[in-house]
């Protein structure tokens, strides 16, 4: 029967839920993401059946099947005694099959509560951010969900542990003794763990967000995750680097996307001596104009208030050194630099402006000239 119900739930998902999820995502594209629960508003019933009802039914089938089997052999009373018999009965804890089944059942219930709460908070937070920004597309670091998700997780499983302690009748006095012993024995050993925990809370509260681009110890990357012990950075080349929260908090790191998300870039360009600098400037500015466009989120890639400026940096051994200066979106830096260098090189070549290269003239004298 349970297998039949499971198959019906599977058909309900394939026939109805999948279509509703597609329609929901087309209507709310800003809520699409890798996180579980993005479409909770349309999948909550299926999730309830899949995460709670079916596991509880399977769990309840265990004593039910044993009860039916015991009736065949007229062992009902023995089964009932076995179900409630405390197979572990010590001062600290009392366990029976019935209590174990209840605690396991509560695990499935609290798991769904934690999932539902974090999913609802995510949807409401994103919709609020969309309303304030006026854009249907959001960047990862525009919505801070890390701290709230961790608080929801702690509260949910904290209540689960309290409920389990009550069901298993674990004396609180014994817990106090254990806690006191752990505090005394592991106090110094847990100093770093506690520091990481509190610094992690401060980082989650807004100093860092998942999706921020930062620089620390010469490493540049995007914040991939923030936990209570470590902050994981995804470097430009794709590697993942974990910093202990206390270490990261004590360092002078740069959050490049905390302000307006722009960073200063100066591209060096050398032109030959005798070149008309005003002409070179006009050629470069005209060639760079197509790069001054919005990204997919509607933000200008090059900061409009500053624009692109071409100035003389100095005088080199073989060239007049120019600087092409602009403020560029942090997440567009590498694409912009490579594209800009290519455009500048082609534009100067097409307009007959020479880009010199270092050269050395070697004069050789023959033996006859020496004599």
pLDDT for res 165: 82
d(CA 119, CA 125): 10
The angle at the Cα of 109, spanning 107 to 110, to the nearest 5 degrees, equals 65
CA 285 to each of CA 216, 265, 320, 349, 351: distance values in angstroms, whole numbers, following the listed order:
34, 15, 17, 15, 13
C-beta neighbour count of 223 within 10 angstroms: 22
- CA dihedral 26→31→32→35, nearest 10 degrees, is -150
The encoded tokens of residue 238 equal 């794709």
Report pLDDT digits (tens) over 167-209.
877 766 655 555 555 555 555 555 666 777 777 777 777 778 8
C-beta neighbour count of 246 within 10 angstroms: 20
Angle between helices 40-48 and 18-27 (to 10 degrees): 160
pLDDT for res 279: 92
The angle at the Cα of 274, spanning 270 to 275, to the nearest 5 degrees, equals 55
pLDDT for res 370: 54
DSSP string for residues in 202-236: HIIIIIS-TT-EEEETTEEEEEEEE-SSEEEEEET
Q: Which domains does the chain have, with CATH numbers?
A: 2-140 (no CATH), 194-255 (2.30.30.60), 262-350 (3.30.70.100)
Annotate 315-352 with three-state secondary structure: ECCCCEEEEEEEEEEHHHHHHHHHHHHHHHHHHHHHCC
pLDDT in tens, the chain (371 residues): 677 777 777 777 777 888 887 887 777 665 545 456 678 888 888 889 889 988 888 888 888 887 777 777 777 788 788 777 777 766 666 778 888 889 999 999 999 999 999 888 888 888 777 777 666 666 766 777 777 888 888 899 999 988 888 887 776 665 555 555 555 555 555 566 677 777 777 777 777 888 888 888 778 888 888 887 888 888 877 888 888 888 777 777 788 887 778 989 999 999 999 889 999 999 999 999 999 998 877 889 999 999 999 999 989 888 899 999 999 998 888 899 999 999 999 999 999 888 887 766 677 776 665 55
The β-bridge partners of 269 are 322
- Would the pTM count as exceeding 0.75? no
């Amino acid at each position: 029967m349970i297998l039949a119900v499971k198959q019906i739930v599977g058909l309900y998902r394939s026939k109805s839920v999948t279509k509703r999820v597609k329609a929901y995502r087309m209507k709310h594209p800003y809520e699409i993401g890798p996180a579980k629960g993005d479409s909770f508003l349309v999948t909550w019933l299926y999730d309830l059946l899949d995460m709670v009802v079916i596991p509880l039914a399977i769990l309840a089938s265990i004593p039910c099947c044993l009860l039916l089997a015991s009736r065949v052999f007229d062992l009902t009373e023995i089964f009932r005694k076995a179900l409630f018999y405390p197979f572990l009965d010590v001062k600290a804890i009392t366990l029976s099959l019935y209590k174990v089944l209840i605690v396991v059942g509560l695990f499935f219930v609290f798991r769904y509560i934690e999932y539902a709460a974090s999913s609802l908070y995510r949807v409401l937070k994103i919709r609020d951010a969309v309303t304030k920004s006026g854009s249907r597309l959001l960047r990862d670091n525009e919505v801070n969900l890390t701290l709230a998700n961790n608080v929801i997780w702690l509260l949910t499983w904290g209540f689960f542990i309290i409920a389990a302690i009550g069901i298993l009748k674990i004396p609180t006095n014994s817990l106090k003794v254990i806690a006191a012993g752990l505090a005394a024995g592991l106090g110094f050993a847990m100093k770093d763990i506690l520091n990481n925990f509190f610094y992690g809370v401060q980082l989650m509260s807004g100093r860092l967000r998942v999706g921020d681009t930062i620089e620390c110890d010469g490493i540049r990357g995007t914040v991939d995750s923030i936990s209570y012990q470590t902050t994981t950075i995804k470097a430009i080349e794709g590697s993942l680097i974990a910093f202990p929260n206390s270490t990261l908090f004590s360092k002078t790191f740069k959050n490049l996307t905390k302000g307006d998300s722009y960073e200063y870039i100066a591209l060096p360009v050398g032109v030959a001596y005798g070149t008309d600098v005003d002409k070179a400037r006009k050629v470069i500015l005209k060639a760079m104009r197509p790069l001054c466009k919005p990204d997919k989120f509607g933000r200008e890639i090059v900061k409009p208030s500053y624009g692109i400026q071409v100035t003389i940096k100095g005088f080199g051994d073989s060239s007049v050194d120019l600087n092409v200066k602009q403020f560029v979106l942090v997440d567009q830096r590498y694409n912009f630099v490579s594209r800009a260098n290519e455009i500048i090189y082609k534009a100067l070549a097409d307009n007959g402006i020479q880009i010199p290269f270092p050269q050395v003239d070697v004069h050789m004298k023959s033996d006859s000239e020496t004599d």
